[in-house]
Amino acid sequence: MRAKIRKVVIPVAGLGTRVLPATKSIPKELLPVVDRPLIDYVVAEARDAGIEHIVLVTGRGKGAIEDYFDHSFELETTLKAKNKADILKSVEAVIPRAGELSYTRQQAPLGLGHAVWCARDIIGDEPFAVSLPDEIVPGRPGFLKQMVEAYEKVGGNLVAVEEVPKSETQKYGVIAPKARKGNLIEMSGMVEKPKPEAAPSNFRIIGRYVLQPSIFRLLETQGAGAGGEIQLTDAMNRLNTEETFHACLCAGVIHDCGSKLGWLTANVDLGLKSAETGAGLAEFIRGRMK
């Protein structure tokens, strides 16, 4: 019987350089999309996937993330006194159960692979998920739930993918496929930002992974790769020579909010879908298009 995916690692130590200067004083994970920060969407997606324990890998200047997932007694007391029950309910809904959330610190910006490795003692000897907070999935089922369901079918290691135009492969990491059955693609490796003429596929890798704990052994000895950092993709390619790897072609929309344009389009998309803001935002956009 396969071990259940109970834990997810969410690296939140990044500097958010693509959205500076806003992230000089605000962790990028707390940038709002409509009325919720990015990290809230990612944590909600993990809970929807049945994840029991969330591990946030933090860094210097990220204390506000911990505060977001804690009680704010002054705020809650004020809302109660003013009988703002609906707002109070939304504020309290983000607070985790006791023991549901853990924090570990990445003391130096050594890359995504190093950030995941920092969570090794909390994860232990069991398979786990990784979710990158730049990318949010507002719909349900979320991509992570689809990944967990795929893992229950095939086991091993998985990455989430979506199809992109072949002309755009040089923007992303893509997979090299071996065989496909439905939304599951057995793969032989991953290639980082290949030119369209050299790309093995047009399936780009999304920031959702399910990994076996053996990845930690490889990350411990993984040398610096692109950008002088310890890259998770490099260790996954090594693991792919030892264990099975599948890509899960996920259904739905994912927003990459790590860039200014991606963050803006996410706000527009979700703002239009919101019962509170949709009609007014649509009217504003129509007026600006005249």
pLDDT in tens, 210-254: 999 999 999 988 877 767 788 888 898 889 888 889 999 998 889
Q: In which region does residue 263 sit, left (phi positive, over 0), alpha (psi from -120 to 50) or beta (all else)? A: alpha
pLDDT in tens, 113-156: 999 999 999 999 999 999 999 999 988 889 999 999 999 999 99
Strand partners, 60: none
pTM: 0.91
What pLDDT was estimated at residue 179?
A: 87
What pLDDT was estimated at residue 173?
A: 87
Q: By three-state DSSP, how is residue 110 classified?
A: coil
- Phi first, then psi: give them for residue 139, nearest 5 degrees: -85, 170
- Cα 111 from chain centre: 15
What pLDDT was estimated at residue 201?
A: 92
Among residues 145, 135, 127, 113, which one has the least CA distance to residue 47?
145
- Residues 89 and 239: their CA atoms lie apart, in Å, by 44
Query: What is the DSSP secondary structure assignment for residue 204, as one 8-state letter?
Result: E
* pLDDT at 38 exceeding the cut of 80: yes
Give the Cβ contact number of residue 236 at 10 Å.
23
- Using DSSP bridges, classify how beta strands 245-249 and 203-211 pair: parallel, antiparallel or unpaired: unpaired
pLDDT in tens, 72-123: 989 999 999 999 999 999 988 889 888 899 999 998 888 899 999 999 999 9
Query: What is the DSSP secondary structure assignment for residue 72, as one 8-state letter?
Result: -
- Cα 247 from chain centre: 16
- Give the mean pLDDT of 180-193: 88
Structure tokens at 206: 């999304």
CATH architecture designation of domain 7-288? Alpha-Beta Complex (3.90)
Query: What is the DSSP secondary structure assignment for residue 126, as one 8-state letter?
Result: S
pLDDT band at 19 (very low <50, low <70, confident <90, very high): confident
Which residues have C-beta within 8 Å of that of residue 65, sequence separation ≥ 6?
Answer: 12, 27, 29, 30, 39, 56, 58
Give the dihedral sign, CA 8/13/16/21. Answer: positive
Task: Using alpha carbons, list the distances in angstroms from residue 39 to 61, 197, 214, 265.
Answer: 15, 36, 27, 17
What pLDDT was estimated at residue 189?
A: 86
- Give the mean pLDDT of 22-49: 92
Of the chain, the percentage scoring pLDDT greater than 70 comes to 100
* pLDDT at 275 exceeding the cut of 80: yes
Q: By three-state DSSP, how is residue 177 classified?
A: strand
Angle between helices 260-273 and 278-288 (to 10 degrees): 120
